[in-house]
Amino acid sequence: MSFVGSYTHSIDSKKRVFVPSKFRDELGEEFYITRKFDAYLSIYTAEDWEAYVDKISKLPEADADEFQDFILGAAQKCVLDASGRIILEDRLLKHAKIDKNIVFVGAVKQIRVWSVEVWKEREKNRNYDKMREIMRQYGL
């Protein structure tokens, strides 16, 4: 399984957003969304979420406390409604600077959720030379 592609949707007045149909089957009946260190959110299948949480649980407590609070404390379990939508909590929307429009971006084992404005800025400032060098280093 691999999440690929990007899709733009809008949040309605009740903070609901359609999850792209191309991603729904792979996500399954329930999945998880949380914030990341940059201004975006990540969606994981239940299986990949459990693997991620298992790795986090093995970190030494002294190193893990703040990380666990940030990632796990903001996590939201999601179940699609009959129309294929989820409701996003305020703390997640605020963290990702999401107001109205969202871009869902496939990123192999996760789906990244960006504000359209933040995504456009990221695209505009992308360092192609750095990416080319990394690709060369890894034979891609």
Q: What's the confidence (pLDDT) of residue 64?
A: 83
Please check whether residue 1 lies inside any domain of the structure.
no
For residue 30, CA distances in Å to 27, 77, 79, 81, 131 come to 7, 7, 5, 11, 34
pLDDT of 117 > 80? The answer is: yes
Q: What CATH number is given to the structural domain containing 62?
A: 3.40.1550.20
pLDDT of 34 > 90? The answer is: yes
Give this prediction's pTM: 0.91
pLDDT of 8 > 90? The answer is: yes
Please check whether residue 47 lies inside any domain of the structure.
yes
Q: pLDDT tens digits for 44-85?
A: 999 999 999 999 888 888 888 888 899 999 999 999 999 999
Residue 103 tokens read as 């871009």
What is the C-alpha radius of gyration for the chain, rounded to an integer number of angstroms? Answer: 16
pLDDT band at 24 (very low <50, low <70, confident <90, very high): very high
Give me the chain's average pLDDT, please. 94
Please check whether residue 133 lies inside any domain of the structure.
yes
Instruction: State mean pLDDT over 34-51.
Output: 96
Please check whether residue 49 lies inside any domain of the structure.
yes
Residue 98 tokens read as 């999401």
Q: What's the confidence (pLDDT) of residue 16?
A: 97
pLDDT of 1 > 80? The answer is: no
Instruction: State mean pLDDT over 22-36.
Output: 94
- Which residues span the domain enclosing 103? 6-137
Residue with tokens 């809008």: 10
Identify whether the C-beta of residue 39 lies closer than 8 Å to the C-beta of residue 97. yes
Number of domains the chain contains: 1
